[in-house]
Amino acid sequence: MSEEGTLVASGVTHSFAGTKVLDGIDLRVSRGSVVAILGPSGSGKTTLLHILGGLLTPDAGRVDRPFERPAFVFQEPLLLPWRTARGNVAFGLAGLRLARSERLSRARTMLVKVGLGQDDAVLYPHQLSGGMKKRVALARALAIEPDVLLLDEAFSALDVGLSREMQQLVRLDAQERGVTVVLVTHDLSEAVRLADRVIVLAGRPGRIATRLSIDRPARLRDDAFVEAEIRRIAALEAIRDAFRPTLSG
């Protein structure tokens, strides 16, 4: 029943130390589509992303992961402190059969794409700003030319202009190479700008509160469309309910 290359999760339930954090999650992400997982903090978004990416095995439920080269951008940059920016990007390529020089040149190219030049490439993480570290982490993920890209608040530490630029980069990459993208965010505008479909997680344990789809192609979404869409979605009863606990608490 599932078409080729679809990421499918059914009945996924997970607990940490006896506390249930996810309950009965069903979702399908078809190849080349962009799905945003939206929800207040503590709703299990990161856990779900790790399960989808194969970093965690759920207590119950099934996940089909028909991909070979997953790439993550984590909430924290998680760079090796003893490697330069370029060394960190090249480290992500360690699993591919590439010569060292090839890895380094790919790393250099990708760093330029995220806006880090020659001078920045030889700096160590502790010499980089928070936003620069995030960009290195994104470059590390894009460099391996993944077939699925899992983003955990990847753009949240960046200023507005930069975060737009990085979103653009991910969107173009997704379109050009048909990458499946799953992104976790608490920022509605990020979801509206990038995603084809939005899954809203809420409650403790997290359940799917609602599913939305955004039909206009991502490249045709201008600021006016994004604003209108945000207003429309924010007005939905299900969304208001999902985010209420964090607003009052």
Partner 1 sequence: MPRISWRRLAGGERRWAVLGLGAVIALWEIGHRVYGDFVLPSPLATIAALGRLGASGDLWPAVVTTARDALSGFLAATLAGSLLGGLAGRSTPIRAMLQPIATLLIGVPAIAWVVLSLLWFGGSGLAATFSVAIAVGPVVFAAAVQGTRTVDGGLRTMARAFRVPFGAMIVDVYLPHVLSYLLPALGTALAMSWKVAVMAELLSGTGGIGDGLAAARAEVDTAKTMAWVVVVVALLLIVERLVIEPVRRYFETWRHGLPGEAA
CA pair distance 247, 41, nearest whole angstrom: 11
Check if the beta carbon of residue 46 is closer than 8 Å to that of residue 184.
yes
Q: What are the angstrom distances between the C-alpha of 170 and each of 121, 143, 145, 176?
A: 21, 12, 11, 10
**DSSP H helical ranges for 178-222:** 188-194
- Near partner 1 by CB under 8 A: residue from 24, 28, 104, 145: 104
Q: Does 91 bind partner 1 (CB under 8 A)?
A: yes
- The residue whose two tokens read 């391996």 is 144
Note the residue count of the chain: 249
- Near partner 1 by CB under 8 A: residue from 39, 40, 44, 87: 87
- Near partner 1 by CB under 8 A: residue from 65, 83, 207, 221: 83
Q: Does 76 bind partner 1 (CB under 8 A)?
A: yes
- Between residues 107 and 138, which has the closer beta carbon with respect to partner 1? 107
Give bridge partners of residue 38 from the DSSP assignment.
185, 200
Both structure tokens of 135: 């960009």
Q: Does 98 bind partner 1 (CB under 8 A)?
A: no
CA pair distance 24, 9, nearest whole angstrom: 10
How many residues touch partner 1 under the rule CB under 8 A: the total is 32
- Between residues 79 and 214, which has the closer beta carbon with respect to partner 1? 79
Q: How far is the CB of 29 from partner 1 (least distance, A)?
A: 17
Both structure tokens of 70: 């997953």
Check if the beta carbon of residue 213 is closer than 8 Å to that of residue 196.
yes
Of 88, 82, 67, which Cα lies nearest the Cα of 138?
88
- Between residues 82 and 159, which has the closer beta carbon with respect to partner 1? 82
Q: Which window, 57-65, 89-97, 195-203, 226-234, contacts partner 1 (CB under 8 A)?
A: 89-97
Q: Does 230 bind partner 1 (CB under 8 A)?
A: no
Q: Does 40 bind partner 1 (CB under 8 A)?
A: no
CA pair distance 220, 183, nearest whole angstrom: 20
- Near partner 1 by CB under 8 A: residue from 34, 71, 184, 201: 71
- Near partner 1 by CB under 8 A: residue from 40, 44, 53, 58: 53
Q: Which residues lie near partner 1 (CB under 8 A)?
A: 53, 55, 69-72, 74, 76, 78, 80-84, 86-87, 90-92, 94-95, 100, 103-104, 107, 122-124, 126-127, 140, 144
